[in-house]
Amino acid sequence: MTDEELLDAARDVREKAYCPYSGFHVGAAIVDENDQVHVGCNVENAAYPQGSCAEAGAIAAMIAAGGTRIVTIAVAGGGENKTRACTPCGGCRQRIHEFADENTRIIVKDDDEDWHTFTMDDLLPSSFHL
């Protein structure tokens, strides 16, 4: 699985986002330690706090499929037709951290359609863990 293929998977699943309240479409694609790909999109709800993020969906799919480690996660978010910078929200940084290590890469699309790669420590320094 190349980065380009993973980024395409994030972009593709972004089109499935259910986001009538925010209009902000997000797709996430994970490659796990078995080289398997798992995708998720945001799914909103009329009771707003019940909505879930794309990263949460992709993580749930990974765990359900038997994966345990995030090697790389790509996130693409933005309006219906155009992506913009969308680094994972605070809650999702902690969710990703649960299944990440020092080699995990988080790839995010920016306003100019370029991609930037972060480590877990870039996004969640001095993180909480048990």
Catalytic positions: 55
Query: Is residue 123 a contact residue for ligand THU (CB under 6 A)?
Result: no
Residues 43-72 that bind ligand THU (CB under 6 A): 44, 51, 53-55
What is the DSSP code string of 41-96?
E-B--SSGGG-B-HHHHHHHHHHHHT---EEEEEEEEESSS-EE--PPPHHHHHHH
Query: Is residue 83 a contact residue for ligand THU (CB under 6 A)?
Result: no
d(CA 122, CA 130): 20
- CB 97 to ligand THU: min, Å: 13
Binding stretches for ligand THU (CB under 6 A): 19, 22, 24, 26, 42, 44, 51, 53-55, 88-89, 92
